[in-house]
Amino acid sequence: MRESAFVKANISKWEEFESLIGTKAKKDPDELADLFVQLTDDLSYAKTHYPQSEITVYLNNLSTKVHQYIYRNRKERRNRFVEFWKLELPKIFWVHRKEFLYSLIFFLAACLIGAFSAANDDAFVRLILGDEYVNMTLSNIERGVPLGVYGKMAQADMFVFITFNNVRVSFIAFAMGVVASIGTVFMLFQNGVMLGSFQYFFYSKGLLVTSLLTIWIHGTIEIISIVVAGGAGLIMGNSMLFPGTYTRMESLRRGALTGAKVVLGLVPMFILAGFLESYVTRLFDMPDFLKAIIIFGSLAFMIYYIILYPRKLYKDVL
């Protein structure tokens, strides 16, 4: 874009920004934050295409004014903790919904590959899950407790171990996104193949419904959260691949910060999943309708919070 066209397209916006920070009226913090982001975008574009221009100097000065205004008048809101889960995290879900959708697609494709491979190769399940686990499960099936593995460990110990492991997996799935998203896709593939072969194994033993009504008591929240963590990794990886008007390092920094917020926001989900796996999944005699209520209730909650609620908040705004 020619410099004159760039100025003509944005000058009214810049003048509005100047008048906004020039008044003494109280400003909405979110409005100021959006203002600053827009200005830095324009400044980055100007530095790239018109590095020696007066308009670049002007935008740099204006951005500095806005930055100083924000931080001079900044007061940390008391309900910042609540607003993170109420507004900020849902906003990320909506803005980056494509990355989360891609993560889900990769994961489901891997599940199908795992199930198909297990169906066509008897040794595949042992390759993926390990001989020890398969032999133990076969023994449990013979004893009439096919999912007895969930009752082996003490509840409190299991809760700590499972929760820590799930959080660790989510951070790894996110962190591996720094390798141009390839690492995250690999983690999604690995976990998806494992889940697909795992479910097919129980299907082959005539225990599909039993496994679904047991495993997904905790697995609904756990698996969806892992997929979301994969989406966080894709956000970071794609920010490096497609920096837009930012420098590649600045884009990566922003993507990493956004992804880290997502993974942090998943911690309560993993705590809840860990609690269910440690204290509820082992209740094998629980009526099936109660198991179904927990599973579908968990599914409804995750769909609402990750998809419907963000859409309700931001569909007409972003």
The domain spans of the chain are 3-75, 81-314
pLDDT tens figures, 12-35: 878 877 777 766 555 666 666 777
C-alpha distances (whole Å) from 80 to each of 76, 84, 232 are 7, 6, 21
State residue 40's pLDDT score: 82
Confidence of residue 82 (pLDDT cuts 50, 70, 90): confident
State residue 6's pLDDT score: 84
State residue 315's pLDDT score: 84
Query: CA-to-CA distance for 161 and 271, rounded, in angstroms?
Result: 11
Averaged pLDDT for residues 171-193: 93
Range name among 5-9, 151-155, 168-172 with the lowest pLDDT average: 5-9
Averaged pLDDT for residues 62-78: 65
Residue 202's CB is within 10 A of a number of other CB atoms, namely: 20
Exposure string of 18-29, with b = 16+ CB inside 10 Å and e = fewer, is: eeeeeeeeeeee
Confidence of residue 152 (pLDDT cuts 50, 70, 90): confident
Please report, rounded to a whole number, the percentage of residues in the chain having pLDDT higher than 70: 91
Please report, rounded to a whole number, the percentage of residues in the chain having pLDDT higher than 90: 66
Residues 227, 104: contact at Cβ < 8 Å? yes
State residue 25's pLDDT score: 55
State residue 61's pLDDT score: 83
**pLDDT of 157 strictly over 60:** yes
State residue 27's pLDDT score: 60
pLDDT tens figures, 278-287: 999 999 999 9
Residues 281, 149: contact at Cβ < 8 Å? no
Residue with tokens 């892992």: 226
State residue 62's pLDDT score: 81
Helix or strand or coil: residue 142? Answer: helix
**pLDDT of 110 strictly over 70:** yes
Task: Kindly report the average pLDDT of the chain as a whole number.
Answer: 89
- Full DSSP string of 67-106: HHHHHHS----TTHHHHIIIIIHHHHHHHTHHHHHHHHHH
pLDDT tens figures, 197-240: 999 999 999 999 999 999 999 999 999 999 999 999 999 999 99
Strands (E), 194-309: none
